[in-house]
Amino acid sequence: MNFFEQFKYCPCCAHNYSPKDFISRDFVFHCPQCHYEFYQNGTPAATALIPYAENPELILLITRNTSPGKGLLDLPGGILRYGELPEEAVVREIQEETLLDIKPTAILQISAIDYHYKGYQVFVVETCFLTEPIKDNISKVSTDEASSIGYYPAASFIKHPDRLAFPEHAEIFKKYLNFLQ
């Protein structure tokens, strides 16, 4: 059972749901009182693969300071805000995390990552952008969400996806390395 099937009340009118109010085929609660349709959707996110201009085999990664994957490496990025497009979100998130102004140039991959967060299951649909390489030898983080930042060889994660907070991202590194050749 998905955690949201245990939701008890309509978020609009506080009607007490009964099991028949959840239509599992459509992942939606139909409120019989106010008719609000409470859809359970995936959560859109955007990340960036940022190559180092001096050596494009090196890419910028953060060490996560939050769960899930605390202490492991991750692509910078985050969850979209309401009304944002993925390419807007990725520019904003990376500004916040690294103070860098990035320029997305292509979509490398769209991944699904089903993860556990504070007792809930979150189904993240993540767009990963390739960006223009950057020249800055960046080493300072500007967010509590990361404990450090640096450049790492993309190839090392093909052999060791366990060093990544989300091993699903190994596919992105593979695609990128093919793209470089």
Pairing of strands 55-64, 73-74: antiparallel
Q: How far is the CB of 19 from Zn ion (least distance, A)?
A: 16
Determine the longest span between alpha carbons in the chain, in angstroms.
61
- Assigned token pair, 12: 């609009």
Q: How far is the CB of 39 from Zn ion (least distance, A)?
A: 14
Q: Is 15 in the site for Zn ion (CB under 5 A)?
A: yes
- Assigned token pair, 110: 């769209």
Q: In angstroms, how far is CA 157 from the centroid of its own chain?
A: 18
User: What distance in Å separates the CA atoms of residue 151 and residue 130, rounded to the nearest whole number?
Assistant: 15
| Residue 85 neighbours by CB under 8 Å, 6+ apart | none
Q: In angstroms, how far is CA 34 from the centroid of its own chain?
A: 33
Q: Is 34 in the site for Zn ion (CB under 5 A)?
A: yes
Q: Is 10 in the site for Zn ion (CB under 5 A)?
A: yes
Question: Is the CB of 29 or the CB of 129 nearer to Zn ion?
Answer: 29
Question: Is the CB of 28 or the CB of 138 nearer to Zn ion?
Answer: 28
Task: Count residues near Zn ion (CB under 5 A).
Answer: 8
Q: How far is the CB of 127 from Zn ion (least distance, A)?
A: 33
For Zn ion, which residue of 2, 3, 9, 12 counts as binding (CB under 5 A)?
Answer: 12
| Binding residues for Zn ion (CB under 5 A) | 10, 12-13, 15, 31, 33-34, 36
